[in-house]
Amino acid sequence: MSVFTEFHIPYGDLVVDPQAAAPMLGYDGDMPEDILTMVREVVDETTGCYDIRGGYMIFDSVAIHQDEHTLSLGGSTFHINKIITRQLRHSTQIAVFVCTAGVGIEQWSRKMLADNDPLKGFIADIMGGVVVELAIDRIQQQLSEAVNVAGLKITNRYSPGYCGWHTSEQHPLFALLPTTLGIRLTESALMQPIKSVSGIIGIGADVRFNPYSCGLCDATQCVYRNKRK
């Protein structure tokens, strides 16, 4: 087991593309100019709202039970379902990660909603999600580079709540980490701040990264499907 590797990512280090909001706003292609202008305004106004932190910890002792669709890690057993079990099956190590964009963007979004500016609030909510995904992309890249040194590769990241992995297992997952960087779990396993992500990444010599992972999932009506190509 390694130590917790922590990152503090300045917002300015991320390349935030306002067009990234287009799919979640319902557009197949680029947004019309007037709507794009509003998204740019929100992006500019919320620059100071972020406090982006994240990190991971690698666990060496891993047991993946393909028949039971479970993962044993750090003394806990996770019911990760069939899809994730399959994707992790060749993993010899597992990285447990957390990442948050901070509470500021969520507060800004809620203020806009309360001040009767639902579109700005909605855009901020979407962009908060975009930012935390960009941040965890960067952390995942750092993890990939770190394990590459030893000739290892990584899988996609998988989170409770997706691919049939129950959100309640967020509790034992968090319990594995020495710090969750201020991210708290509610009784029903919601993360606070809301713009946070957590999950696992498989590591091994024979694991594979799928550039497009939505096709693996059986949630065909998921709103995020096809949005994160």
Partner 1 sequence: MSTLIEQIALCVENGKVNMASPYPPQMKGQPGSDELTKQALEENVLPDDILNKALVVAMNKVGQKYSENKIFVPQMLLSAKAMAASMNHLKPFFQSGEVKRKGTVIMGTVMGDLHDIGKNLCCMMIEGAGWEVIDLGVDVKPETFIAELDHHPNAIVGLSALLTTTMVNMGVIITSIREKYPNTKVAIGGAPVNYDFAKQINADAYSKNPQDMIVWLEKEVA
Ranges of beta strands (E only) in 89-219 are 93-100, 153-158, 184-185, 191-192, 196-204
Give the DSSP letter string of 142-163. Answer: HHHHHHHTTT-EEEEEE-TTST
Query: Would you say 3 or 223 has its CB closer to partner 1?
Result: 223
Q: Is 133 in the site for partner 1 (CB under 8 A)?
A: no
Shortest distance in whole angstroms from residue 80 CB to partner 1 = 12
Shortest distance in whole angstroms from residue 145 CB to partner 1 = 32
Query: Would you say 156 or 170 has its CB closer to partner 1?
Result: 170
Query: Would you say 105 or 143 has its CB closer to partner 1?
Result: 105
Q: Is 78 in the site for partner 1 (CB under 8 A)?
A: no
How many whole angstroms separate alpha carbon 49 and alpha carbon 159? 25
Q: Interaction with partner 1 in 149-208: which residues (CB under 8 A)?
A: 160-162, 164-168, 186, 188-191, 194
Which of these segments, 24-32, 54-62, 64-72, 177-185, binds partner 1 (CB under 8 A)? 24-32
- Sheet containing strand 76-79, edge to edge, reads 62-65, 70-73, 76-79
Burial of 87 (0-12, 13-18, 19+ CB in 10 A): buried
CB 61 within 8 A of CB 116: no
Considering only 4, 27, 137, 214, the residue that binds partner 1 (CB under 8 A) is 27
In sign, the C-alpha dihedral spanning 112, 113, 119, 124 is positive
Q: Which of 41, 188, 174 is nearest to 96 (CA)?
A: 174
Binding positions for partner 1, rule: CB under 8 A: 25-27, 31, 34-35, 38, 113, 116-119, 122, 125, 160-162, 164-168, 186, 188-191, 194, 219, 221-223
